[in-house]
Amino acid sequence: MDTHRHLDDELNELRDRVLLLGGETEQALKGAMRALEERDTEVARQVLDNDDRIDLLEVEIDRQCIDIIALRQPAARDLRFVISVAKMAPVLERIADHACNIARTAIDLNNEPQMKPVPDLGRMASHALTMLHAALDAFTSSDAIAAREVITSDSEINNLYNHIFHRLIELMVSEPETATRDARLLFVAKHLERIGDYVTDICELTVYMAEAAFIKHYHQRANL
């Protein structure tokens, strides 16, 4: 029994570490968007500085998953949990990388004159953050229903992206003098759209963890 208690402890520790990584990723995205919206270069630099810590957490989780698989040989729900975590950690790290890219864009834009805000960009960021938060909650509670709801809500991000894309293209044509800055904002929108996709990946892993169901590809997702 002690062996199994030991495994439980290790799995709990792994879960805590993923949630820590998730929390850091959320903070990175929040910080990056704040830096962009409030033209706060200092906050952008904090996001970039903290990225090493996120990278380190990912490596630690990776190592811990390998150790558990090699030494404890988990099966069934334990195996699904460890596999899901091993796949989820790099996804969270990539979300943080997108946050860093947004932070870098914020620093670049802060060196230039302020532009008119693109209202939907804030909405898009807010939606991405809500999705990420809900995805981490679904993972914590192993709630496949909640995870599926988050996946469904990704379409909202995609709609916003399409809207922003067209809006910024129009601006580039009508006000070519700000085209460079518009292009940068277009990249921000693209980062947020990718973050929505990554959050979807996290939710798919949660569904696998909870139900052993693979819903990875679009045709399977149609029957969520």
Partner 1 sequence: MRVQTATPRIEVPERARDNGSTSKGTEAKVSVRNLNFYYGRNQALHNISVDIPERMVMAFIGPSGCGKSTFLRTLNRMNDVIPHTRVDGQVMIDNHDIYTPGTDVVELRRRVGMVFQKSNPFPKSVFDNVAYGLRINRITKNSSELAQRVEEALQDAALWTEVKDRLKSSALSLSGGQQQRLCIARALAIRPEVLLMDEPASALDPIATSKIEELIFDLKKQYTIVIVTHNMQQAARVSDRTAFFLLGKLIEVNATEKMFTAPDEKLTEDYITGRFG
Dist. CA 2–CA 5, nearest whole Å = 5
- Asked if 7 touches partner 1 (CB under 8 A), the answer is yes
Are the CB atoms for 186 and 120 separated by under 8 Å?
Answer: no
Among 10, 24, 58, 78, binds partner 1 (CB under 8 A): 78
One of 10, 74, 164, 193 touching partner 1 (CB under 8 A) = 74
Q: Tell me if 70 contacts partner 1 by CB under 8 A.
A: no
Q: Token pair of 201, please?
A: 């990946």
The answer to whether 196 and 130 have CB atoms below 8 angstroms apart is: no
Within the chain, where are the H helices? 2-37, 41-49, 51-72, 76-110, 119-140, 144-174, 179-211, 218-221
**Stretch touching partner 1 by CB under 8 A, among 40-48, 69-77, 125-133, 196-204:** 69-77
User: Applying CB under 8 A, which of residues 42, 52, 70, 76 lies at the interface with partner 1?
Assistant: 76
Question: Which is nearer to partner 1, 84 or 105 (by Cβ)?
Answer: 84
Asked if residue 152 binds partner 1 (CB under 8 A), the reply is: no
Question: What is the rounded CA–CA span in Å between residue 156 and residue 182?
Answer: 22
Interface stretch with partner 1, choices 68-76, 84-92, 95-103, 162-170 (CB under 8 A) = 68-76
Residues in contact with partner 1 by the rule CB under 8 A: 3-4, 7, 73-80, 211-212
